[in-house]
């Protein structure tokens, strides 16, 4: 395993018991004692810290906008960006198969490891230290978070697949429901290279497409495609 002193410097936190950090960096392919339980805790800590920070930083924003910003900040895409910046992949403990298949750069793995690191700080000391580490890593994101309100889900999904050189999603109308004067449109978001086909309903084709894009993003997150 790599020397962890550099990672501790980046986090601006020195562990009293380094085994907590090692556990946070241990993937299930490496050992039965791994970071999955820590990731579960870290996910909740992150949600709390981002929510409180947004509440304090943006007192003029309504709950709906705060929720949209928080969702963008705690999703896998942002976690991967931060985890990549701090080079968390090189510190991971992986099994041989995961190592050969590129696990050190697999987004779902490095995102989960980062959340596990947040929890490991809390268990090594206390919540205040975990909050401080999260705020350090997220500071620039939370300072410039208002632009996330104006981003629609179709644009976010398009940017995401473009960065990964995947064919753009298509939106196909699959039918309508209800009377002519009150139609509900059914639109399916298709990302063929990932085998994703997500139907959604809306009062207009545009609304249904946005809902379908949002569902596709959630599916990508939950399945760890990247």
Please write the tens of the pLDDT for every residue from 74-125: 888 889 899 999 999 999 999 999 999 988 988 889 999 999 999 999 999 9
Token pair recorded at residue 151:
């981003």
Find the catalytic residue in 43, 98, 112, 214.
43
For the sheet containing 184-191, what is the strand order?
Answer: 170-177, 184-191, 196-202
Which 3 state secondary structure label does DSSP give 62?
coil
Please write the tens of the pLDDT for every residue from 155-207: 878 877 887 788 899 999 999 988 777 789 999 999 998 899 999 999 889 88
Q: Is 172 a catalytic residue?
A: no
Token pair recorded at residue 177:
């429901």
CATH number at residue 26: 1.10.1520.10
Token pair recorded at residue 132:
């401080």
Please write the tens of the pLDDT for every residue from 197-215: 999 999 889 889 989 998 8
As a whole number of angstroms, the longest Cα–Cα distance in the chain is: 67
Residues 98, 63 share a domain: yes
Q: Is 115 a catalytic residue?
A: yes
Find the catalytic residue in 98, 112, 115, 214.
115
| The total number of structural domains that make up the chain | 2
Residues 77, 172 share a domain: no
CATH number at residue 201: 3.30.160.20
Q: Specify the DSSP element, H or E, that contains 185.
A: strand 184-191
Residues 146, 171 share a domain: no
Token pair recorded at residue 143:
């300072």
Residues 163, 127 share a domain: no
Residue 224 banded pLDDT, cuts 50, 70, 90? low
Residues 33, 73 share a domain: yes
Domain that holds residue 204: 153-223
Report which DSSP code applies to 87. Answer: T
State which of 126, 150, 174 marks the end of a domain.
150
| Per-residue buried b or exposed e for 31-44, using 16+ beta carbons within 10 Å of the residue's own CB | eeebbeebbebbbe
Q: Are 213 and 191 in contact (CB under 8 A)?
A: no
């Amino acid at each position: 395993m790599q020397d962890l002193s550099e990672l501790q410097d980046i986090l601006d936190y020195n562990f009293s018991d380094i085994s907590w950090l090692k556990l946070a960096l241990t993937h299930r392919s490496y050992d039965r004692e791994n970071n999955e339980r820590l990731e579960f805790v870290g996910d909740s800590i992150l949600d709390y810290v981002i929510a409180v920070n947004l509440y304090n930083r943006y007192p003029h924003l309504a709950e709906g906008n705060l929720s949209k910003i928080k969702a963008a900040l705690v999703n896998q895409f942002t976690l991967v960006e931060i985890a990549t910046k701090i080079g968390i992949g090189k510190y991971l403990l992986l099994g041989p198969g995961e190592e050969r298949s590129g696990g050190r750069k697999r987004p779902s793995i490095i995102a989960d490891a980062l959340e596990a690191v947040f929890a490991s700080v809390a268990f090594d000391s206390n919540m205040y230290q975990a909050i401080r580490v999260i705020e350090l890593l997220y500071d620039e994101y939370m300072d410039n978070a208002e632009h996330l309100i104006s981003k629609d889900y179709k644009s976010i999904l398009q940017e995401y697949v473009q960065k990964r050189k995947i064919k753009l999603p298509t939106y196909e109308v699959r039918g309508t429901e209800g009377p002519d004067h009150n139609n509900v449109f059914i639109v399916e978001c298709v990302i063929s290279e990932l085998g994703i086909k997500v139907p959604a309903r809306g009062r207009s084709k545009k609304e249904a497409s946005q809902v379908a894009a949002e569902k596709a993003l959630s599916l990508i997150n939950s399945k760890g495609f990247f």
